[in-house]
Structure 1
């Protein structure tokens, strides 16, 4: 992303700027929020937005529903809960920030999350996904244990919802109203 269009802290872009950048730049801006091309393009192509709330509303509408293939593709970009991605990408930085509630020094919870992740992957064939932002490691572990009791169909619905929540939170952190809002 062109550093000149981001705030000094390199974490957000004003809505007016997002509305005015070319389509390719807008796509590059949103893709780390959720790498589903149809979703990103639906948001970008609906510009301009009068407010971040309007942008978030379009993001929500574009996410309903995600197809099974879209969910599967997007899941490839999400690390296991408790494992911090090492890559230096925008998406990896977002993930590290979102998982701040997982204390690597809490060996008991970290081990329980690792064990739960393995059980979840064995049962459902994919990583356990949860909106980690704002949740403690214990809350995530409790949700993981509860979700292990679900059917694959129930989990498909929950995972799509978690992807939406994560994407909307990421947009909220990435696009700001700006100084004139």
Structure 2
């Protein structure tokens, strides 16, 4: 992310009480350990500093905390339900999934979940349904350790995108 001057949104996030900051950060990554860790590092001078702290926090999460974050993500190809900010962001991120790819993604999601025991997570922004399906198929051959690294990378990408939305919306 480019280095961005302090914006009213970032200044607002920096000024929140810890519990309120954690609630806001949970919209970006639904792990309570993540939200606590990032909120505790405030104030951030710019969006790049916030993003770097978030990347580090995602990579340091214990696997149960990663699974907690994954629980907030709908399956790729399924529209997130609800009117909340996180559901809205998820729908925006999956806008490239067309109906013809949904059935194949449904089947791929089932195979992935049977293989790894959790939802297939990928940063869907800018990807078509065919792209998402191809990545899913490539990842099905990963061993558990490799896939956990990939999941953390994807979670970090999604979190960075959502942090930018969070501070621009504040």
- TM more than 0.5: yes
In the other structure, the counterpart of 2:116 is 124
String of CA shifts for 1:126-165, please: whole Å, max 9, x gaps.
1111011121111111101111111122211111211111
In the other structure, the counterpart of 1:161 is 153
In the other structure, the counterpart of 2:9 is 14
Residues 13 and 131 of structure 1: CA distance in aligned 2, closer, same or farther (over 3 Å): farther
Equivalent runs, 1:132-147 vs 2, <5 Å: 132-147=124-139
Q: Does structure 2 retain, via aligned residues, the 8 Å contact 1:15–1:177?
A: no
Q: Does structure 2 retain, via aligned residues, the 8 Å contact 1:49–1:55?
A: yes
- Report the secondary structure of 2:95's partner residue: helix
The answer to whether residue 56 in structure 2 is matched with residue 61 in structure 1 is: yes
Equivalent runs, 1:1-150 vs 2, <5 Å: 14-104=9-99, 107=100, 109-150=101-142
- Return the index of the structure with the highest Cα Rg: 1
The number of residue pairs the alignment matches comes to: 164
TM-score w.r.t. the length of structure 2 is 0.89
Q: Does structure 1 retain, via aligned residues, the 8 Å contact 2:33–2:61?
A: no
String of CA shifts for 1:4-25, please: whole Å, max 9, x gaps.
xxxxxxxx97111111122222
Q: Compute the displacement of 1:176 (Å).
A: 3.5
Distance, in Å, in 2 between the alignment partners of 1:125 and 1:62 is: 23
Distance, in Å, in 1 between the alignment partners of 2:59 and 2:161 is: 16
TM-score w.r.t. the length of structure 1 is 0.84
